[in-house]
Structure 1
Amino acid sequence: MCKSQHHQQLLYFIENIINPNFEFIKLDLNYIGFKNGIYDLSNATFILTADIVENIQVRTYIDSEFKIDNDYAPLLDQYLRFQFDDETIEFIYFMIGRSMTKLNDKFDFMVFLFGEGGSGKSLLMNLVKYSFAHDQVGILSNSHQEQFGLSEYAKKNKFYAVMI
């Protein structure tokens, strides 16, 4: 076994290696991992573990079984139907889907939710946030460092600004 300091250094270099000989370590933002397989966001399909033929580094791992057999999400639909009409719900689903995928269209995309306190804005954003690993998400707050204020967000995939 190695010392704790060496162990931390080893983990750092494994996580931050940039070498063309180690392409299998490259993070693929199109995949979310589950106990029983991976979900491919690029074509909205689930691939069972036994059917995975290549090495894939998923953007996050959710420690549960993927059990959705169709496109229906009863709890999320109930939450949205409580306060929105069908057209608004369709647009919210569009915004969630657009914020979870990476397209090569060179556009930035921002979801801005405005409403009364306790209406579920933070819950909805947390659902999207948890589809990324914690080190891929930056949280902007009212107070940030004065010097190099945005430097910690340079390599983040998503930013969340709560109560700004």
Structure 2
Amino acid sequence: MQAVKAVQIPYQPTNEVLRLLKLFRDMVNHCVRVGLEKNITSRFRLSNEVYHGLTKYRLHTWYCLSAIEVATAILKNYRKAERKNQNIKRPYARKVMAKLGNQAYKVVGDKLRIPIKPRRYFYVKLHKRALESLSDSTLKLGSITLTALQGYGGFLEDS
């Protein structure tokens, strides 16, 4: 069993980062739309169906894979709620956000290097608590979620 520890990572998003967050939301909504139209709930099938369409956004590949993952979670929650209540609205991503898996970003010194496009990055300075979590050998890097206000870094802990 793994426990998860989350650390807030404050940052000031640039216009380019805000654009990235909006594009990610659009990618998730595209995946949700296709999933509903074709009655897809599996991440593998959704990935096969939409991946090449997501490459038109010209973002780093990790954003395509993460958008599919987020959309799959939205679709599964929608199907579950639909079984309980027939009068449920069609789902879509509302907030601007982006999620990245642990292999998509890198820690460089006291900064987090996050890709925007292939070979283009932005850096977020890590605060003391985040650096302490990184130096803890019992914790492994997890996913990172970026919002318009701040980021959230997840750490996995074997218990």
User: TM-score under structure 2 normalisation?
Assistant: 0.23
Higher fraction of strand:
2
Larger radius of gyration: 1
TM-score by length of structure 1 reads 0.22
